[in-house]
Amino acid sequence: MEDNAPLVPEGAQVIEVRTAAIPHVVPTLRTIVADIAMRQDFDLDAVEDLRMAVDEACSLLLPASADGRLTCVFSWSGPRIEVSVSVLADSADHEDDAGLSWQLLTALATTAERTITPENGRYLSRVDLVRESQAADS
């Protein structure tokens, strides 16, 4: 999976979490992103938006995990936080990106992208999202 690892901006700090693809780990991932956002002086609304965005990204990908694993990479530099959530799936067919979960995710993040890449007879399914703090716009 390292060949398809998300690109991390030079100089960014990174936390990578590899865990079981079970709903019980999602609150921990939400807490990690909230802690990063608070340390980067994001306002409370942006912190909560990031928590919900990570929740939605996990909700989209957890059911597709073929090997029972989920990887979440958090990277940040200044007023920008990037999160990449990925699983290895048996099929390239996933929920429609026009669905409610995807619409919510794109509303919560500055940008969001979903990619599905063939890998060793399976598919790496990944959601990448970026949230920039309002302070970046000032």
Residues 13-51 pLDDT 10s = 999 999 999 999 999 999 999 999 999 999 999 999 999
Quote the crossing angle between the two packed helices 44-61 and 100-108, to the nearest 10°. 150
Q: Which amino acid is at 115?
A: T
Q: Which amino acid is at 56?
A: E
Which segments of the chain does DSSP mark as H helices, in order?
Answer: 26-39, 44-61, 100-108
* Length, in residues, of the chain: 138
pLDDT of residue 1: 41
Partners of residue 16 on adjacent β-strands: 73
Rg (CA), the chain: 14
pLDDT of residue 78: 87
Residues 68-94 pLDDT 10s = 999 999 999 989 999 999 999 998 876
pLDDT of residue 62: 94
DSSP 92: S
Partners of residue 131 on adjacent β-strands: 81
Residues 97-121 pLDDT 10s = 668 888 999 999 999 999 999 998 9
